[in-house]
Amino acid sequence: MNREALNKRPFVVACIPAFNEERTIARVVVQTKRFVDCVVVCDDGSGDLTGEVAEATCLYNEWRNTVLVALGGGVT
C-alpha cells in the first residue's frame, strides 16, 4: 500500500477488556493484531497472570502500538 493510501484509511484500535483471562489473552491479542493498527488490553484487576501474559505477548512481538492498561478494580 502506498503512503497516500495509508494516510487516507482510518486508524483502527481494538480495546480488549480482560479479567482473569491468562489462558486466552495471548491468542486473542495475536489474532486481533492481524486486523487493527493498535491493540489496547484493559486488565481490570485480574487475580491471575492476565496482565503479565498480555504484556509479555506485546513485548515478545515488539508491538510498540500495543498498550496494556491496568485499571485496579472492576465494576460490579
State if pTM tops 0.85: no
Tell me the percentage of the chain whose pLDDT exceeds 90.
20
Assigned C-alpha cell, 63? 508491538
- The 10 Å Cβ neighbour count of residue 2 is 6
pLDDT beyond 70 at 34 = yes
The model's pLDDT over 23-33, given as tens digits with 9 standing for 90+, comes to 999 999 889 98
Phi, psi of 52 (to 5 degrees): -65, -40
CA dihedral (12, 24, 54, 51) positive or negative: positive
Helix (H) and strand (E) counts for the chain?
A: 3, 3
The model's pLDDT over 39-61, given as tens digits with 9 standing for 90+, comes to 888 888 889 998 889 888 865 44
